[in-house]
Amino acid sequence: MNFLTRIRKFPFWSWVWFIFGALYFLVPLYATLRHSLRMERDVIGFKAYVRAFEDSNFWETFLLSNMLAVATIVASVILIVPTAYWIRLRVPEARRITEFITLLPFVIPAIILVFGLIRIYSSPIGIPFTNIDLLQPLTTSKLGTYALITAGYMVLAMPYMYRSVDTGMRTVDIRTLTEAAQSLGAGWFTIVTQVILPNIRSALLSGALLTFAIVVGEVTLASFLGVDAFGPYLFLIGQHRAYEPAALSFVTFLLTWAALGVIQLVTGEQGQGAGAH
């Protein structure tokens, strides 16, 4: 092969676009890292990281957001997996409506959602024309507020969670697997927990990590519901400090990368299993 042929075969434009895309992501990241390491004049060091981690508010808000994220993921799985499963199995004609509903959080801003939640759940909900209260105001107690914000997060994460689960179910023949399990004596709970869930675990993990990322960084719901979560904390220190937000942003990015690595690992393992039938 002569030099000219090699030149012609080299995917020049592919590489140009690849490098351009890579720079688009890497330059701001590098700038953030560089900025976070220069808290002290003329010294490159981790002082911004140390200061950020020393702040007890960081740990408290970060822990709370993590707990809310876990609660959101668990509740979303409980709600969305059986729903998506049932729709695929029994009412496939409802898929379009469901997909439309799951896209609503993209159309309705979080601010509308949070005002709606506050409007409805800050006063008791009773049976019309009676004095009987079915539900006490949720915003008056911490637990109630956490339940409310978790529900709000579920709505925000729904497009990602539903789509991940639905895509996962598309890759396995859930109808035949369900029937095989039924013929072996399994009930619905067993089928969902032992047959369906393990076979969509990588899709579930993708949805869960996206949900986690949304919850940990979310500001609007937490601010208006008065929850001391990580999102509002990051927003607050971003307004008052110069270097710590950059350090925390970089750490968050590393955590996301680690999470993607986990997905890759699990997906790689399941990829082989998914082709099994």
Residues of this chain that interact with other proteins (CB under 8 A) are 172-173, 176-177, 179-187, 190, 194-195, 198-199, 272-277
Least distance between other proteins and beta carbon 179 (Å): 6
Least distance between other proteins and beta carbon 81 (Å): 15
Instruction: Please identify, using beta-carbon distances, which residue of 109 and 273 lies nearer to other proteins.
Output: 273
Instruction: Please identify, using beta-carbon distances, which residue of 64 and 274 lies nearer to other proteins.
Output: 274
> Rounded CA gap, 261 and 187, in Å?
35
Burial of 271 (0-12, 13-18, 19+ CB in 10 A): exposed
Least distance between other proteins and beta carbon 234 (Å): 39
> Rounded CA gap, 96 and 102, in Å?
10
Under 8 Å CB-to-CB from 212, ≥6 apart: which residues? 69, 73, 259
* CA-angle at 164, arms to 185 and 220, nearest 5°: 125
Least distance between other proteins and beta carbon 206 (Å): 17
DSSP three-state, residue 99: helix
Contact 163, 190 (CB under 8 A): no
- Of 157, 128, 139, the C-alpha closest to 216 is 157
Instruction: Please identify, using beta-carbon distances, which residue of 28 and 273 lies nearer to other proteins.
Output: 273
Instruction: Please identify, using beta-carbon distances, which residue of 32 and 182 lies nearer to other proteins.
Output: 182
Least distance between other proteins and beta carbon 117 (Å): 38
Least distance between other proteins and beta carbon 161 (Å): 21
Least distance between other proteins and beta carbon 183 (Å): 4
- Of 139, 145, 143, 108, the C-alpha closest to 124 is 139
**The residue to which tokens 């990281």 are assigned:** 49
Instruction: Please identify, using beta-carbon distances, which residue of 130 and 272 lies nearer to other proteins.
Output: 272
Instruction: Please identify, using beta-carbon distances, which residue of 88 and 231 lies nearer to other proteins.
Output: 88
Instruction: Please identify, using beta-carbon distances, which residue of 11 and 185 lies nearer to other proteins.
Output: 185
E strands within the chain? 125-126, 133-135
Pair of tokens at residue 99: 């997909």
Contact 74, 62 (CB under 8 A): no
What sections of 138-200 are H helices per DSSP?
142-171, 174-183, 188-190, 197-199
> Rounded CA gap, 59 and 228, in Å?
11
Least distance between other proteins and beta carbon 170 (Å): 14
Instruction: Please identify, using beta-carbon distances, which residue of 133 and 179 lies nearer to other proteins.
Output: 179
